[in-house]
Amino acid sequence: MTGGTKAGASDERIKEQSFVRKALIRPELGGIVGAIAVFTFFLLTAFDSGMFSAPGVMNWSMVSAQFMIIAVGACLLMIAGEFDLSVGSMIGFAGMMIAIFTITLGWPVWMAIVVTFAMCIAIGAVNGWIVVRTGLPSFIVTLAFLFILRGFTIFFPQLLERKTIIGGISDAAEGDWLAAIFGGKIGGSFFQMLGDAGIIGVFERGNRIGEPVVDGIPMLVVWALALVVFGHILLTRTRFGNWIFASGGDAEAARNSGVPVNKVKVLMFMFTAFCATVFATCQVMEFGSAGADRGLLKEFEAIIAVVIGGALLTGGYGSVIGAALGALIFGVVQQGLFFAGVESSLFRVFLGAILLGAVVLNTYIRRLITGER
């Protein structure tokens, strides 16, 4: 009995881990530390610049929301063991299709949006199907679609409109029920109440005198939060979430356990395309136009946000909350550099440096988990 007790006490399967070790292997650790560091830095250097006023907070919240939308899709796909480098081109393509269907062909905006979503999700399915059927690296397949989609995004408007920017969408979207879901705002009366109470500023002159400087929460932010909540619940509270982890961790073992690995991967490619189309639709409704250069480098920014959030490049490990924190860091830094009076081009330097740091940290975490040396 005593010998059995000693053997059980030394069994690695029931060995207790210290709080510090548990914290170190949490995928959100890097995102939490990074967010604290970034907010501390800008509180010290840009507190009086308006960055943390109501308009300033809304400014960097919208930028962060853009990153979050595409980071959620990229996160789930990377945990499933794949990459999608066509996300940025998908954003430009989706926005241009909405503009062409609406302005050039004269379709109702709601129909243009629905058809665009169907097209882009189908392209995501094609990406996934090619990857799982041929065994080619997703890096290569989606890199090919990066060029294909970007080429079509430039070619179609030049062919039909003789230009690469198509405007007039705001007028066409006026009163459209589906356009409001992507380009409207919510909570207007609440912010008016805050303005009347003096909690946030109001306009003191002009046509908007008495109105709050922030008149609602843009649907872009609502979509970002909704996707983060959906992705987190899907990943941590459902059987499908377990399938995602299994598919990225060890695909062959997952297949032997009855996990439909190919189906999971294709669905994640489709979801990534869905997130890119949400981003594009919100962007088109916000600016009232579509441009052939929209979405450039967004695929890399999404991947970096996910890596900062703790996802391993090898798959099988990560967190949607961590990816959201990575996106928040991006948004705060991008706008914070402006408020702090720092040259905005240094944002790219920050991207490269934080990517390198995140990969080093993730490698250390992977070795902690697997016991590698």
* Residue 109 belongs to a domain: yes
Over residues 7-55, the pLDDT tens digits come to 444 555 455 666 555 655 677 777 888 888 889 988 988 888 888 988 9
Structure tokens at 107: 């379709």
**CA separation, residue 67 to residues 38, 43, 75 (Å):** 16, 22, 12
Q: Is residue 150, in this structure, part of any structural domain at all?
A: yes
In a domain, 203, yes or no: no
> Percentage of residues in the chain with pLDDT exceeding 90?
60
pLDDT tens digits for range 146-189: 999 999 999 999 999 999 999 999 999 999 999 999 998 999 89
Looking at the domain assignment, is residue 208 inside a domain? no
Separation in Å, CA 10 to CA 2, 55, 134, 373: 13, 57, 45, 22
Please tell me the distance from the alpha carbon of residue 339 to that of residue 220, in angstroms, as a whole number.
22
- pLDDT single digits (tens) 330-339: 889 888 888 8
Ramachandran quadrant class, 318 (left: phi over 0; alpha: psi -120 to 50; beta: rest): left
**CATH number of the domain within which 148 lies:** 1.10.3470
Number of folded domains that form the chain: 1
Provide the 8-state DSSP code for 12: G
Q: Residue 124 sits in which domain range?
A: 26-176+220-370
Q: What is the pTM of this model?
A: 0.90
Residue 224 burial (CB < 10 Å; 0-12/13-18/19+)?
A: buried
Residue pair 229/223 in contact by the 8 Å Cβ criterion: no
Burial of 88 (0-12, 13-18, 19+ CB in 10 A): buried
pLDDT value, residue 155: 96
Whether 50 maps to a domain, the answer reads: yes
Q: Please tell me which residue, 71 or 33, carries the higher pLDDT value.
A: 71
Residue 13 falls within a domain, yes or no?
no
Q: Is residue 187 part of a domain?
A: no
Query: What letter does residue 291 receive in the DSSP assignment?
Result: E
Residue 186, helix vs strand vs coil = strand
Q: Which residues pair with 291 in a beta bridge?
A: 165
- Of 207, 174, 372, the closest CA to residue 288 belongs to 174
Specify the residue for token string 């008495």: 210
